[in-house]
Amino acid sequence: MSSSLLADASLELAWRLWTELGVPGVQDMVGAAVVDPEPLVVWSPSVIGEDPRLRDLVFGWCLQHGDRLSASRLRGVLKTMSPGVVLSFGRFVAALSAHSNLRWPGAVEADESWPVPLERRQLQLQSSRGSLLRFRLRALSGVGTRADVLCELLGADGDWLSASDLVEQGYTKRNIGRVLSELDSAGLVRSRSHGNALRYQLADAGSLGRLVAAPAQAGYPRWSMIFRLLGLLLETATKLETQPPVVQRVEGHKAREQADALAAQLGIGSPPVTAGNPEAFADFMRWAVAESKALAEGSSAALSPR
C-alpha cells in the first residue's frame, strides 16, 4: 500500500540524515547536501516511531546535543508542519523535557507517551563533515539566527536575498532583518535597494567559505519544505487509502494542490492532474512514492545545488 511505501522512504531518509549527525547507521547521504537540524528534529518523530533503534538513538542524540539547536527556530519550523508531525513532535519533546534541563518547545500531553530508552550511548557529532556546515557556523557565531542566515547566504551562490526570502528558516522577519543589518554594518555582507526592500549578498563568500570549510558544489536543500511535503504525502495516504473512491478524489485533489505548490518551490516535477481523472488518487500516490524514494536515495532535484 502507498502509505507503507511512503513510510519506508521517509524512514530511509531519516536514517541517512541522522547518520550524518552521528547516529550509527549504515547509509550516509548520497551526494553532498548540507543537513539542517531543526527541521529534521521536528519531522523525525512522525516517521521513526516504528523503528525502536533509530527512535532511541535520536532521543539520546537530542538529550546529548540539544544545546546545539535553536529553541526559537524549532518553534518557528513547527508552525509550518502538518498536524500529524506537530503531534508526534509534541509527544517526543514532552519526554525529552522530563529528562533534560533544556526548554523544548511544543510539548503536548497525549494518550500515549513517547517511549524513553533505558540505555543511552554517547554519540559523537563530527562537525567537520561537509554536510554539517551549520554546526561549524554555529561554533563560529553562536546558535541562532546569525549562523543560519550566513548559511543561507553561502548557499545562495551570489544571489541577492531579502529578509522575506529567509523567513522560511523559522525566524521572524524582524529578527532576520536585524541580523542582516548588523552583518552589513560589519562589512560581512553588502546591501542594495530593490523596490521597497533591501537585498543582501555576502561581501566575500570565498573567504567565509574557506573559514568554515563550506563544501564545494554542495546542495543546500530547503529541508523545511521537503519535510512539509513528505508529511503531507504520508498523512494523505494513511488517511485516504481505505476511503471510498469519491472521498479519495475530493480529498486527494486538495492534497494534490498543496503538494503541487511545494513541488514547484522545490524544483521537482508536478504531481499528475487530478481534475476529471477517475484514477486521480492512484496516480497521485504513484507520484508521491516516486518522489519520496528519490529524496531517500539522494537523486531528487530538491537536493541539488541551487
pTM passes above 0.85: yes
pLDDT band at 41 (very low <50, low <70, confident <90, very high): very high
Whether pLDDT at 20 is above 70: yes
DSSP line for the chain: -HHHHHHHHHHHHHHHHHHHTT---S---SS-B---HHHHHHHTHHHHTT-HHHHHHHHHHHHHHGGGS-HHHHHHHHTTS-HHHHHHHHHHHHHHHHT-SS--TT----SSPPPPPS--------TTSGGGHHHHHHHHH-SSHHHHHHHHHHHTTT--B-TGGGGGGSS-HHHHHHHHHHHHHTTSEEEEEETTEEEEEES-HHHHHHHTTPPTT-B---HHHHHHHHHHHHHHHHHHTTS-HHHHHHHHHHHHHHHHHHHHHHT-PPPPP-TT-TTHHHHHHHHHHHHHHHHHHT--GGGS--
Which among 265, 248, 224 has a CA at the least distance from the CA of 81? 224
In sign, the C-alpha dihedral spanning 213, 35, 148, 74 is: negative
Whether pLDDT at 31 is above 70: no
Whether pLDDT at 274 is above 80: no
- Which pLDDT score is estimated for 305? 75
Do you know the residue count of the chain? 306
pLDDT band at 273 (very low <50, low <70, confident <90, very high): confident
Cβ partners under 8 Å of residue 194, min gap 6: 160, 162
Mark residue 106 as left, alpha or beta (left: phi above 0; alpha: psi -120 to 50; beta: remaining).
left
* pLDDT tens profile 214-229: 998 888 999 999 999 9
* pLDDT tens profile 123-182: 889 899 999 999 999 999 999 999 999 999 999 988 999 999 999 899 999 999 999 999
* pLDDT tens profile 79-117: 999 999 999 999 999 999 988 888 899 888 876 788 888
